[in-house]
Structure 1
Amino acid sequence: MAKAVEQVNWNDQGLVPAIAQDWRSGEVLMLAWMNREALELTLREGRAVYWSRSRGALWRKGESSGHVQHLKELRLDCDADTVLMKVEQVGDIACHTGRRSCFYQRREAGEWRAVEPVLKDPDSIYPGKA
């Protein structure tokens, strides 16, 4: 595990972008960030662990929502500066907006339009957050 983590080309903040992709359909679910510890924990636990830049803390995907991402395969891009995680998404929701994917907006007629439905009200997923 240590060798794999050492081969990542971390940015100046010690982070690497991590793309979560549904392992069956190939749908891109989200992009988040990982630091060294998050990647090590992801490999050890077999579930996605990310680094929250806004909170300055680790977060396990699904720890409050139940929408866990189980790691099926991990890939590193050609420049070793982006990881691709093929995951099994528990539940239909990967995005904090209550949608399947964070990539729910499409450019149409010069504007960004939401083209994917909200599957669950975010307030019911994350109670107490405003």
Structure 2
Amino acid sequence: MIGVAFAIIISLLTKYTGKVQIIEAGFIFVLGYLSYLTAEMLSLSSILSITFFGVCCQKYVNANMDEKSVTTVRYTMKVFAIGSETMIFVFLGITAIDNVIWVWNTGFILLTLLFAIVYRFIGS
């Protein structure tokens, strides 16, 4: 419900920011992060909050925002996604090299690769 509430707020905000296009993209990131923090403060699922925020606001925000702002948000999100994915695989690689905790687990490695491929297709 928190993500949906913040999606309604951002939909209303972008409806009235047509003349000030420079702050439209900033609102998306700020309110998305506020959705995350609010859920975290209330000990709820912050990942679900941000997921519902994105799903609920996508249709209305894209319709209300300028095309340049939509493009800015789209490419910035892709940069963040690729950077996050890279960091996950770096940490996974560092963990695999550590001799103290290194134990070969074929099932874990195969499931990690399977889920990474599946979520790449879902996210693309």
TM-score, normalized by the shorter chain, greater than 0.5: no
Report the TM-score when normalising by structure 2. Answer: 0.23
- Give the strand-richer structure, 1 or 2: 1
Q: Whose radius of gyration is greater, 1 or 2?
A: 2
Report the TM-score when normalising by structure 1. Answer: 0.22
- Give the helix-richer structure, 1 or 2: 2
